[in-house]
Amino acid sequence: MKIPAIAQMTFKEAIRDRVLYLLLFFALISLAFSRLLALLTVGDRIRIIKDVGLGSLSLFGALMAILMGTSLVYKEIDKKTIFTLLSKPIHRYQFLLGKYFGLILTLFIMLAAMSLIFLVILFFHTFTIEWKLLVAILFIFFELCLITAVAILFSTFSTPILSSLFSLCFYLIGHLSWGLEAPINKMKPGIGKTLTRALYTFLPDLENFNFKTEVVNNLPLPSQVYLPAVLYGFFYTLFVLALATLIFRRRDFI
């Protein structure tokens, strides 16, 4: 009951945050902009709307996860509410998990709201509901779960500004790291190749969750690609949360 209690309170707190609504507002503008962009484009207008729409969900979802994730734990420490909370019979990992799940619930609702608007905009163009888009959105949500864990990890030992910066770097690196694959394949065997491969393995690869191209272009999506992506997301998130707990459990709250 302790983790759900903290999660529920985190949700109550997060849902009141103005930053969330500011980002939601920009996300909606971006979705509306996709319609405008489609009008100005020669070619497949529907594809443009889908592309920009999914991109907006991913980007603004990530910004929500980063900005909220880095501030929620810090706020408890900064405002000293953590003193009374941790004096209660709760483990520190329960506190962190409560915060995490509260934020995940918030992000789920925000993503659901943005997706609904996106699907409605699309419906007015195609007069059909493309359920396949939900696959791409579901994997965006898995990506947000990982980014939230990373934001919480940084917030256990750093200020919100630095944590946001670190988390943003994680997001960018995560989407660009697949670019290392080509040079690795071209490199001659040796220490250079081994080190680069080790780096590539260590760096996050958020493109594992990116099914936008397949969905937008109606490319075949074999079911066996889902499981590795889900497992990758699950274990990476678990690893990051375990790391966050490890740091948080020995921290002094002065």
Partner 1 sequence: MASALEIADLHKSFKTGFIPKKKQILKGISLTVNRGEIFGYLGPNGAGKTTTIKCVLGLIFPDRGDIRVLEKPHLSLPAKEQIGFLPENPYFHDYLNANEFLQYYSRLFKRRDGAGDQKIQDLIKLVGLEKSAHVRLRKFSRGMLQRIGLAQALINEPRLVILDEPLGGLDPLGRKEIRDVIVRLRDEGKTVFLSSHILQDIEMICDRVAIIVDGRIVNQGELRSLISEKLLFTEILLSGIDEKALAGMGESVGTQAGRILLKVSDEEKIGRVIKLVEAQKGKIHSLVPRTETLEDYFVGKVKG
Q: Contact residues for partner 1 (CB under 8 A)?
A: 1-2, 5-6, 9, 12-13, 16, 79-91, 250, 252-254
Minimum distance, C-beta of residue 230 to partner 1, in the bound complex (Å) = 32
Select 87 or 128, whichever has its Cβ closest to partner 1. 87
- Cα–Cα distance between 133 and 235 in angstroms, integer? 25
Minimum gap (Å) between residue 79 Cβ and partner 1: 5
Considering the complex, what minimum distance in angstroms separates the CB of residue 2 from partner 1? Answer: 6
Q: How many CB atoms lie within 10 A of CB 87?
A: 8
Per residue, the 3-state secondary structure of 68-132, as one string, reads HHHHHHHHHHHCCHHHHHHCCCCCHHHHHHHHHHHHHHHHHHHHHHHHHHHHHHHHHHHCCCCCH
CB of 105 to partner 1, least distance (A): 16
Q: Is 198 helix (H, G, I), strand (E, B) or coil?
A: helix
- How far apart are CB 148 and partner 1 at their closest, in Å? 20
Nearer residue to partner 1 within complex by CB, 82 or 137: 82
Task: Please say which residue, 155 or 208, places its beta carbon nearer to partner 1.
Answer: 155
Q: 94-97: long-range contacts (C-beta < 8 A, 24 or more apart)?
A: 94/2, 94/3, 94/6, 95/6, 95/248, 96/152, 96/156, 96/241, 96/244, 96/245, 96/248, 97/3, 97/6, 97/7, 97/241
Distances (CA, A) of 16 to 12, 40, 194, 247: 7, 37, 48, 28
Find the angle CA(2)-CA(61)-CA(64) to the nearest 5 degrees: 60
Which of residues 88 and 125 has its CB atom nearest to partner 1 in the complex? Answer: 88
Pick 84 or 224: Cβ nearer partner 1:
84
Q: Which residue's CB is nearer to partner 1, number 79 or number 186?
A: 79
Cβ 39 to partner 1 shortest distance, Å:
42
CA distance 78 to 85: 13
Report d(CA 119, CA 249) in Å as an integer. Answer: 43
CB closer to partner 1 out of 2 and 45: 2
As measured in angstroms, the least distance from the Cβ of 226 to partner 1 is 37
Q: Which two tokens stand for residue 136?
A: 């791409």
